[in-house]
Structure 1
Amino acid sequence: MSDRDRIYERVARHYNDTGFEFESARLSQHFPIEFAITSRYLNRWISDNATVADIGVGVGHYAELLASRGCCIYLVDISQRLLDATYTRLKAIGLHERILGMHCTSATQLDCLNVEFDAVLLLGPLYHLCSIEERQQPVKAAAKILKPEGLLFAAGINRLTYFRELFRTAPELVLTRKDFHQQLLQDGNIDPTHAPPLGYGHLTTSEEFHQLFKSDFQTVTLTGVESFASPWQNSFNNLAPAAAEAWLDLIETTGTTAEGLGMTDHFLYVGRKKAENS
């Protein structure tokens, strides 16, 4: 087994075992702003009844959102447990017939998707691909399976979130992690020792993330999903609906600014497939 395959196996095991419970509650309980803003962009740009490849489905929050609008979904994840949870989620609300296929595979191995899609979601896989060559593979695959002018939605994690959380929770570790911090600033790669909730993964910068898509996609937007609200997302669940929407308007407005991109936890890239002769 290659080193790359070992890491993929560890990522799958992470979500099949210890990471499953956190992933189950992550968007609804801990990161509701991430979910709300990402949902805004999906609803705005993906038409009803579209055919969508959801690569890295988690427990199916976005699959449910799109299936409820009549979209047909192909589910892909490296964790069979997450795929099963998504199927159970959609079946419980009568939307499982919107699932046209389920594939347990890595985002770097997407030959199983042999149809054309209106939209492709990569709202998680790029977190776990530690080399630029690996990250390019699902981006290239998305361009291949998308219809002309189809849309890609991709998420990345801001590299600075690691430092912010370490400063908040264990600032004394700055003395023993100097070498790791220099490495992280250079390549963005983390591991289960330094970032247990994510395990093996990659944290990016806004410029690096933007560059990843330029050869195959025309940028629609690059936004900081949580903007200034990143550290206080739990407060969002306690807001009245009108106040929640007003704050989301401000978060979305500021998310595309340099300041919003700098403060955010997650980047969201939306791009349109380039014409082959462009």
Structure 2
Amino acid sequence: MQAYYATLVEHERLDTTCHGRLERARTQELLTRTLPEAPARILDVGGGTGVYAAWLAEAGYAVHLIDVIPEHVAAALNDGAAFTAALGDARHLDEPDDSAEAVMMLGPLYHLLDRNDRVQALREARRVLRPGGTLAAAVISRHAALLAYASRGELDPGRRDLALATLGHGQHDPQLGFTTAFFHTPDEALSEFRVAGFHDVHVRAIEGPMWTAVKTCTDPTHQDALVESALMCARAVETDPAMLAASAHLLATGHA
């Protein structure tokens, strides 16, 4: 994970690729509906180079970014950020109890391979949240790798078997790209939130089922229209249980 993210590819991905644009627009849309009003204090745990922290700071929030990758924290601070940033681990936050109105975890849950570690990170979020505070956490869908390779016409028997293994146990094999990670089902995300003590838990599709079309589109004259259509589709089915697993990412939300 350290080697993968040290290249800072995440910042570029959200800004320049069609899939990244779709993911970012939908994530911002769902967060706008979920987060308390500014100037609430938000902890952006696993906040990377500060893409979402900068957006929230501009909207008037008091944002503190925490990330385990030194290059991410350095890049966030070097951009003249209107937020603070520090190294840290989602499982052991160096923050007082009841010190934030909201916590975002848009990456840690899929990089914590053990369920106990994921639940510990969620419990840490609950500890630092004020009563009634909001947690918004992203997970990668269990089906993401299978759909991605199939949509590109690259699903050979070897990749199929690796992707099917992920469907069985959730552990993503880096031979399929990305890095070692855990991919959730919607029910697993709900369960982990509830075990950690959150209530009013909901899981929504971020990109929705059209993300594979967006990801594979190479016609620049069609990309903007395709992203807009994918956004409309994602909104229409964001809580449909029959469609949730078709999204690349899911956003789970709950209250302390």
Fold shared by both chains (TM-score > 0.5):
yes
* Aligned match for 1:98, one of 58, 64, 83: 83
**Could you tell me how far 1:220 is from its partner in structure 2?**
4.7
Aligned to 1:212: 192
* AA partner of residue 155 (structure 2): P
* Aligned match for 1:84, one of 74, 89, 108: 74
**Could you tell me how far 1:82 is from its partner in structure 2?**
0.9
Secondary structure of 2:253's counterpart equals strand
**Could you tell me how far 1:128 is from its partner in structure 2?**
0.8
Aligned to 1:151: 134
Structure 1 gaps of 5+ residues are 1-10, 274-278
Aligned to 2:103: 120
- What is the TM-score with the length of structure 2 in the denominator? 0.86
Aligned to 2:26: 37
Q: Is the contact made by 1:32 and 1:233 (CA closer than 8 Å) also made in structure 2?
A: no
**1:266 lines up with 2:249 in the alignment:** yes
Q: What's the C-alpha RMSD, in Å, of the aligned pairs? A: 2.3
* Aligned match for 1:54, one of 39, 44, 51: 44
Q: Deviations over 1:68-116 (max 9, x none)?
A: 1111111111111111222233x1xxxx3432xx221222222x12251
- What is the TM-score with the length of structure 1 in the denominator? 0.80
Q: Is the contact made by 1:13 and 1:79 (CA closer than 8 Å) also made in structure 2?
A: no
Secondary structure of 1:159's counterpart equals coil
Aligned to 2:13: 26
Q: Deviations over 1:107-144 (max 9, x none)?
A: 2222x122510100010111111110111111000000
Aligned to 1:131: 114
**1:170 lines up with 2:154 in the alignment:** yes
Find the aligned partners of 2:204 and 2:234 in 1 and give their Cα distance: 10
**1:233 lines up with 2:246 in the alignment:** no
Find the aligned partners of 1:152 and 1:87 in 2 and give their Cα distance: 24
* Aligned match for 1:69, one of 59, 66, 79: 59
Secondary structure of 1:221's counterpart equals strand
- 237 and 217 in structure 1: CA distance in 2 versus 1, 3 angstrom threshold: farther
Secondary structure of 1:64's counterpart equals helix
Aligned length in residues:
245
Find the aligned partners of 1:125 and 1:39 in 2 and give their Cα distance: 18
**Could you tell me how far 1:186 is from its partner in structure 2?**
2.8
* AA partner of residue 219 (structure 1): D
Find the aligned partners of 1:54 and 1:137 in 2 and give their Cα distance: 17
Q: Deviations over 1:195-236 (max 9, x none)?
A: 332x11111111111111013111353111111221133568
Q: Is the contact made by 2:210 and 2:233 (CA closer than 8 Å) also made in structure 1?
A: no
Identity %: 25
Structure 2 gaps of 5+ residues are none
**Could you tell me how far 1:191 is from its partner in structure 2?**
3.5
Q: Is the contact made by 1:224 and 1:266 (CA closer than 8 Å) also made in structure 2?
A: yes
Alignment of 1:189-200 (within 5 A): 189-192=171-174, 194-197=175-178, 199-200=179-180
Find the aligned partners of 2:234 and 2:61 in 1 and give their Cα distance: 27
Find the aligned partners of 1:40 and 1:137 in 2 and give their Cα distance: 27
- 170 and 121 in structure 1: CA distance in 2 versus 1, 3 angstrom threshold: same
Find the aligned partners of 1:177 and 1:250 in 2 and give their Cα distance: 27
- 237 and 57 in structure 1: CA distance in 2 versus 1, 3 angstrom threshold: farther
Secondary structure of 1:171's counterpart equals coil
Find the aligned partners of 1:247 and 1:187 in 2 and give their Cα distance: 29
Q: Is the contact made by 1:57 and 1:86 (CA closer than 8 Å) also made in structure 2?
A: no
* Aligned match for 2:183, one of 179, 203, 209: 203
